Structure 1
Amino acid sequence: MSESLITRPFGDTGIMVSPIGLGTVKLGRDQGVKYPNGFTIPDDKAASHLIDLARDLGINLIDTAPAYGISEQRLGPLLKGQRQDWVICSKVGEEFNEGDSSFDFSAKHTRFSIERSLKRLDTDFIDMVLVHSDGNDLNVIEQQEVLDELLRCKQEGLIRAYGVSTKTVAGGLRAAEKTDAVMATFNLDYKDEKPVIDFCEKNNKGLLIKKAFASGHICLAGEDPIQASMDFIFSHPGVSSAIVGTINPTHLTANVKAVIKATT
């Protein structure tokens, strides 16, 4: 690839991220996921190859969560010896067991979740931790203990930055006011959360995009949907990075090429 990904500031956190991040739900969970086609969780050899390819392509951001099945447990060994090469993003708040999600935003569970993630990922710190909202964003942000506990974890050096993966505009705006970062949905089919991205740009907050391709459902007649999606997302200067969860090396390479074209 003649050109390469150029890292960019993640808000005012001091963290530099590639404009595309590797989402790893498919490394650990194949139940209750909203993709148009089924998939098989890759074995360790294939997963290692995917991570090596991502790194070689210039990706330094990797996204995981306790709710992604065994994703964190697998990433610990897979990233061994590479910790300095990666910005790791994980989550708190959502648990996924036997096909069902449950949520706990208490300080006690938040602390437990962080300590468990550190152990699973075999690291002394996590670069960024987001709250996995249950959809009641304002309740999570205003009424629960989770953000106060994440601030304590940041002050203790267990995490470098924290924020919320939100599902509403009001929640995204409030999260951006109170934390370092927001993960919002923004794609060619869904533009409702643009005010959140506007706010993050204006106030120098980290902004991650989820569902960049509407979970693989975007189709465009006579146009490359990957390039069109990335051109659209990165036309907004408030976007720090788009998280794309693929286990297909060909798709990953195509995604990176599209991001390079959209950002240079």
Structure 2
Amino acid sequence: MKTLHHLHRPLGSTGLNISPLGLGTVKLGRDQGVKYPSGFSIPDDREAANLIALARELGINLIDTAPAYGRSEERLGPLLRGQRDAWVIVSKTGEEFDNGQSRFDFSAEHTRFSVERSLKRLETDYIDLVLVHSDGNDLDILQNTGVYETLERLKEEGLIRAFGLSGKTVDGGLLALQRGDCAMVTYNLNEQAEKPVIDYAQAHGRGILIKKALASGHACLAPGVDPVRASFELVFGHPGVTSAIVGTINPLHLAHNVAMAVEVLGDH
């Protein structure tokens, strides 16, 4: 079985070592308002525990969640009990999801409340990385709200190890990396507009996580071309990329993704 255990790499200068693929957990907690090509059922606790055990066996140590992912955080707390040291946990702040609707709050008060709530839900006394869950107005969020200053303070207090932005614009990503540790950007076969953020991170020792690496399951290519392989060749072809978050709940897809990542990274 191909695994990622030997391919862990540093996330910028955070001191965190992470697998080149991370497990995204939106599907553990939320099935409304998500952009996937086909419907799915939220896995039960046994299925979720099996998926997490498989991810760990495959050498994945990065797990990505958010308050906006429905019940994801509160389910992960019990699911990760006794194995906290095996995981680098990424969560977010800024977006809330209630009754099928997103709402955003980037104030200092909400940021602290959100992180403290995530710590309780995840049953941990620190979160490795907290990202600002942008609504698209990246520059406004970074310049005119208290979110980044509050995350800086929470890092000083030891409640989080690192912070950054999951944004939607090049300008936002660049500003986020000047003051923060990491940016999460969209980069796939269909969308490469945020590549300058990855270039900057590579030049300045910052971390980059990729969201939608597989275009949320929408990657379409010529017949006979494996879309996962082609996607990973693009993503891991950039030396500034640390890890790509893959949000599958299908064990076969997860194993296939890992095997492809091992092959592609072996070629670099």
So what's the TM-score if we normalise by structure 1?
Answer: 0.99
Say whether the 8 Å CA contact 2:2–2:259 is kept in structure 1: no
Residues 1:235 and 2:237 are matched in the alignment: yes
What's the counterpart of residue 15 of structure 1? 16
TM-fit CA distance, 1:2: 4.6
Aligned to 1:248: 250
Q: CA deviation at 1:262?
A: 1.5
Greater shift in the superposed pair: 2-11 or 186-195: 2-11
The 5 Å alignment of 1:38-187 reads 38-187=39-188
Deviation string, structure 1 residues 142-182 (Cα, Å, up to 9, x no partner): 11100000000000000000000010111111111110000
Whole-angstrom CA distance in 2 between matches of 1:211 and 1:261: 20
How far has the Cα of 1:3 moved from its partner? 5.4
String of CA shifts for 1:33-86, please: whole Å, max 9, x gaps.
Answer: 000000000000000000000000000000000000000000000000000000
The match for 1:30 is 31
Q: Matched residues in 2 for 1:262 and 1:89: separation? A: 25
Aligned twin of 2:226 = 224
Contact 2:4/2:19 (CA < 8 Å) preserved in 1? no
Distance between the aligned counterparts of 1:4 and 1:171, measured in 2? 31
Is the contact between residue 3 and residue 258 of structure 2 (CA under 8 Å) also seen in structure 1?
Answer: no
Distance 1:149 1:4, change over 3 A: closer
Structure 2 regions of 5+ residues with no counterpart? none
* Aligned equivalents of 1:111, 1:80: Cα separation in 2: 24
Q: Would you say how many aligned residue pairs link Structure 1 and Structure 2?
A: 264
CA RMSD in angstroms, aligned pairs only: 0.7
In the alignment, residue 234 of structure 2 is paired with which amino acid?
A: F
Taking the aligned partners of 1:126 and 1:205, their CA distance within structure 2 comes to 18
Separation in structure 1 between the aligned mates of residue 15 and residue 96 of structure 2, nearest angstrom: 30
Aligned amino acid, residue 81 of structure 1: G
Percent of paired sites with the same residue: 64
Shift of 1:220: 1.2
Q: Which amino acid aligns with 1:66?
A: P
Mapped to 1, the partners of 2:108 and 2:191 lie a distance apart of: 33
Distance 2:260 2:140 in 1: 37
C-alpha separation between the residues in 2 aligned to 1:12 and 1:259?
Answer: 23
Q: Which runs of 4+ in 1 moved over 6 A?
A: none
* Higher mean C-alpha deviation, range 254-263 or range 115-124: 254-263
- Distance, in Å, in 2 between the alignment partners of 1:137 and 1:64 is 20
Give distance in 1, aligned partners of 2:245 and 2:198. 15
CA 1:167–1:39: 2 relative to 1, 3 Å: same
Shift of 1:27: 0.1
Aligned partners of 1:19, 1:208: CA distance in 2, in Å? 9
**In structure 2, C-alpha distance between the alignment counterparts of 1:120 and 1:207, rounded to whole Å:** 26
Provide closer, same or farther for how the CA distance between residues 115 and 4 of structure 1 changes in structure 2, counting only shifts above 3 A. closer
| Equivalent AA in structure 2 for residue 241 of structure 1 | S
Shift of 1:4: 3.5
Contact 2:170 2:193 in 1 (8 A): yes
Hey, what's the Cα distance between the residues in 2 that align with 1:206 and 1:41?
30
Following the alignment from structure 1 to structure 2, what is the Cα–Cα distance between the partners of residues 170 and 34? 25
Deviations 1:167-210 (A, max 9, x none): 01111111111100000000011111110000000001010000
